[in-house]
Chains A and B, each alone.
Chain A
Amino acid sequence: MSEKFVVEIISPDKLILKKDVSEVVLPSFEGEMGILKNHIPLITFLRPGLIKIIDETEKKFFVEEGTVEFANNNLLILTSTAREISDFDQNSLEKIINESEKKIKNDKITDKEKYLLTYKIDTLKNINQ
């Protein structure tokens, strides 16, 4: 018995990743969540953060939002913003961080938006280091 399940990351224009993996860690809306084989069926959505895909090698994707469904040992991640972190370069990262920091200073945003932006900035800063 292998301890692996299938993970699929799909964006509106293409299939980003389809792979047999042993563990996935998701930035779920209410906290980080690790998923192993035979997890119970689950539907949730994501906040900005890193998706960690753990196999022999580890892969990390940055996402801003998304919907996740786990059923029949099939993990489905629907997102329009997934990017592998090795695709980021220093300059574009700093630009996004600056923009987000400007937005968060705006008083008009709601608590939810603030919550999401905080996570976005934190994650990006972590990548940057």
Chain B
Amino acid sequence: MPSLDDLKKRIKSVKSTQKITKAMKMVAAAKLRKAQENAEKGRPYSNKMQNIILNLTKSINDPENAPKLLVGTGKDKTYLCVVLTADRGLCGGFNSNICKLAKLNFKKILNEGKDLKIITVGSKGLDQIRREYGKYIIKKFSFKDKKNITFNEAEIIGNEIINLFQQDQFDKCILFYNNFKNVITQIPQAQQIIPTESKNLEMEEDNAFSYEFEPEEDEILEDLLPKNISTQVFKAFLENAASEQGSRMTAMDNATRNAGDLVDKLTINYNRSRQAAITKELIEIISGAESL
């Protein structure tokens, strides 16, 4: 049985933890609104970009000579996995969900006897993946000191991916991130960006007419495909940022509620012990008086 003093200390400490989680929840809620807005604003760009590429792809008449970024190297040997996570913890299952999905895929790739290369973005993912797959990590990025992720950061990663591709370092590139559905649901996703996966793209039916191109299709594609890589990375960034805040908000909300429950329980315990102590004292006094 803990003493009254111990209980009092415990209640005080839980209460101050609750204050912290409550503050974090409110900060996350404010940030979430902005991140969500950004993610929603960013969606049209990447969707339309994909659409244009799809339209272009359909009108290519010579698939043999099509740009490698679009159709792949024709091999299926080395995989490059880009894992996007947050730089901060305390956001529920956000980081571990991405890592879980990524690790599942790593296992599959290695089991099939293929080569694996990993790029991590964000320090939390790096920590989780390093333990098991440390030797496969070829590059790590972290934008901890940046307050807002802009297109520039996405371009740094995009250019890195394209550079590696041009040096023939990998055949397929997969992006791992959390897709923001709503505040409570974030779905970890694996998206293949090189070669462009056309079956994942939704096609609008009335879009099936032939285009006039200026200059030639190939030239446009060559210009557009590297841009598309950065755009997809940027989209993943935005979705991730919104998911992180949403996940943190839910986690902190739960933590605040749990702390409240704990305080209630401890307070009841405290009051009981206090009453027991008083009763004990009374009994002692009464029995002392009686014995006189």
**A33 CB → nearest B CB, Å:** 8
Interface size on B, residues (CB 8 A): 30
Which residues of B lie under 8 Å from residue A119 when comparing CB positions?
Answer: none
Task: Report whether A42 and B211 are in contact in the complex, using a CB–CB cutoff of 8 Å.
Answer: yes
Does B202 belong to the interface (CB within 8 Å)? no
Cβ-defined contact, B150 with A41, below 8 A: no
A40 touches B49 (CB 8 A): no
Also in contact, A67 and B52, with CB within 8 A (given A41-B211, A44-B220):
yes
Question: Is residue A17 within 8 Å, beta carbon to beta carbon, of the partner chain?
Answer: no
User: Which stretch (B37-45, B93-101, B175-183) binds chain A?
Assistant: B37-45
Interface: B48 (CB within 8 A): yes
Stretch in contact with the other chain, from A8-16, A49-57, A92-100, A101-109: A8-16
> What residues of chain A lie closer than 8 Å to B45, measured between beta carbons?
10-12, 78
Bound-state CA distance A41–B22 (Å) is 54
* A10-B45, A45-B223 known; A28+B207 contact, CB < 8 A: no
Question: Does chain A have a CB within 8 A of B141?
Answer: no
Question: Smallest Cβ distance from B130 to chain A, in angstroms?
Answer: 31
In the complex, which residues of chain A have a beta carbon less than 8 angstroms from the beta carbon of B231?
12
Which residues of chain A have C-beta atoms less than 8 A from B56's C-beta?
A: 43
B151 in contact with A15 (CB, 8 Å): no
Could you say which residues of chain A place their CB within 8 Å of the CB of B151?
12-13, 80
Give chain B residues whose Cβ lies under 8 Å from the Cβ of A8: 44
Q: Which of A15, A29, A41, A69 contacts B215 (CB 8 A)?
A: A29
**Are B215 and A30 interface neighbours, CB within 8 A?**
yes
Interface centre among A30, A40, A78 (most CB of B within 10 A): A78
Q: How far is the CB of A114 from chain B (nearest CB, A)?
A: 17
Closest partner residue, chain A, to B55 (CB atom): A43
Contact call A12/B234, Cβ cutoff below 8 A = yes
Which of A11, A13, A72 lies at the interface centre, i.e. has the most chain B CB atoms within 10 A of its CB? A13
A-facing residues in B201-225 (Cβ within 8 Å):
206-207, 209-215, 220, 223-224
What is the 8 Å Cβ interface bit string for chain B, positions 40-68, against chain A (1 contact, 0 not)? 01101110110110011000000000000
* 30 examples of A-B residue contacts, CB within 8 angstroms: A10-B48, A11-B45, A12-B42, A12-B154, A13-B38, A13-B41, A13-B150, A30-B214, A40-B212, A41-B209, A42-B211, A42-B212, A43-B52, A43-B55, A43-B56, A43-B211, A43-B213, A43-B220, A44-B213, A45-B220, A45-B223, A67-B223, A69-B51, A71-B211, A72-B206, A72-B207, A76-B52, A78-B48, A78-B49, A78-B52
Binding site for B on A (CB under 8 A): 8, 10-15, 28-30, 33, 40-45, 67, 69, 71-72, 76, 78, 80
4 tightest A-B CB contacts, nearest first: A44-B214, A14-B41, A41-B211, A42-B212
Given A28-B214, A42-B213, A43-B211, 16 more pairs with CB closer than 8 A: A10-B48, A13-B42, A13-B151, A30-B215, A33-B214, A41-B209, A41-B212, A42-B214, A43-B213, A44-B215, A44-B220, A45-B220, A45-B223, A69-B211, A72-B206, A78-B48
